[in-house]
Structure 1
Amino acid sequence: MTEIDNRERILEMSRDMFMRYGIRSVSMDDIAGALGMSKKTIYQYYADKDELVLAVIRYKTCESEELCKVDKENASDAIDEMFRAMDMVEHMFRTMNPAVLFDLRKYHPAAFGILEQHKHEYLYNTIRKNLEWGIREELYRPEINVDIIARYRVESMLLPFDPSFLSRQKANLADVEQQVLEHYLFGIVTLKGYKLALKYQQKRRKQAQK
C-alpha cells in the first residue's frame, strides 16, 4: 500500500469517527485500532491529533464547495437549488454528532477558523448569489436586502449545534436544520415563488416516503 493510500485511509476513518462520535471522544488509539495499524504509523502521516482534525475539516469544506457547485449547475431555478441544498444538509447532518462544533471551537481553534472562513466567505457568497438569482426570476421578494439576509442565513446554519437550543427539543440535527431552511425559504419568496416552493416541497416529501 502506498503512502498516499495510507494517508487517505487515515483521513477517511478519522472523518467518519469524528463526525459520528465527536472529536474529543475519539482518541488516536481509537483510530489506530479501527484501521488495524499502530499509532506510530499514523504519526508518520499526521504529526498529532490537531493536524489530523485540521486535515478532516479541510476535506469537509472542500467537499461542501464541490457539492454546492453541483447543486448550482443542476438546479432549474433558485428555489430548486435551495431544495437540493436541503437534501445535501440532511444527508450530512443525519450521522453528525452535535458535539463536533463544540469540540472544534474549544479544542481545535485553527480547524474551527477554517470552518468559519468557509462559512463567512464561500457559503455567504453562494447564498448571496442564490438570492440574486431568485430576485431576477421574481421568485424572491425584490425588497430583500441581500447582504443582511445572506448573513442571517449563514449565522442560522449553526443554530442546530447550539447545546442550549438542542437540549430544549427532541428533534435531531437534520430535522432542525430542515425546519430552519424551510422557514428561511418561505420567508423570502414571492407568491410565484411560494407556489413553486410548495411543488418542490411536496415532491421531496413524496420521495422521502418511498
Structure 2
Amino acid sequence: MAVIASKPRVRKRVETALERTIFASRWLLAPFYLGLVLALGMLVVKFVQEILHILPHLLDLPESEMILAILSLIDLSLAGNLLLIVIFSGYENFVSKIGLEGHEDRPEWMGKVDFSGLKLKLIASIVAISGIHLLKAFMDVHDVTKEDLQWQIAIHVVFVLSGVMLALMDWLVERAHLVSARAHQIQDGGH
C-alpha cells in the first residue's frame, strides 16, 4: 500500500522538477538580449562615424545631401530605438522583470508592452525605417534605377500592409475576448 501511495508523490516531484527546468530555460534568452545591447553599441559607433563624416563638409554640402545625411542619422536613431524596445520588452516579457520601479528615467511603457504591443511597435519602427529609406531614394532619384525604386516601394507597401494586418488581427482577438467575456457575464447573470 505504501508503494502505491509513493508513486503519485514521485510523479509529482518529477513533474515539478520538469516544470521548474522548463521555466528556468527562459534564462537562455538572456545572452540574446546582451547581444542586442552590444548591437546597440555598434549602432552608436556608426552614428558617431556618420557625424564625423558629415562635420568636415558641413559648409560645403548641398542642401539635398545634408538632408540625406540627416535622414541617415534619423535612420540609425530609429534602429536604436527599435533595438531598445526589443531589449526591454523582450527581456521583461520572456526572462525577468527589470527591477527599476520608481526610477525617474524608467520609460513609462516599460513593463506594460506585451507581446502583441511589441509586435506593433516593431512593425511601426520597421515601416518608419523603410519610409526613410524610400524618402532617401526619392531625394536621390537620379542615382537610383527605376527597378530599384519600384522594389523599395513594393517592400515598403508590404511592410505597411503587414502592420495593418497585425493590428487588425490583434483587434479581432481583443474583440473576441470581449465578446466571450460579455457572454460569460450574461450567462453568469442569468443563473
Short-chain TM bin: 0.3 to 0.5
Higher-RCO chain (CA-CA 8 Å, sequence separation at least 6): 1
Query: TM-score, normalization: structure 2?
Result: 0.32
Bigger Rg, structure 1 or 2: 2
Structure with greater helix percent: 2
Query: TM-score, normalization: structure 1?
Result: 0.30
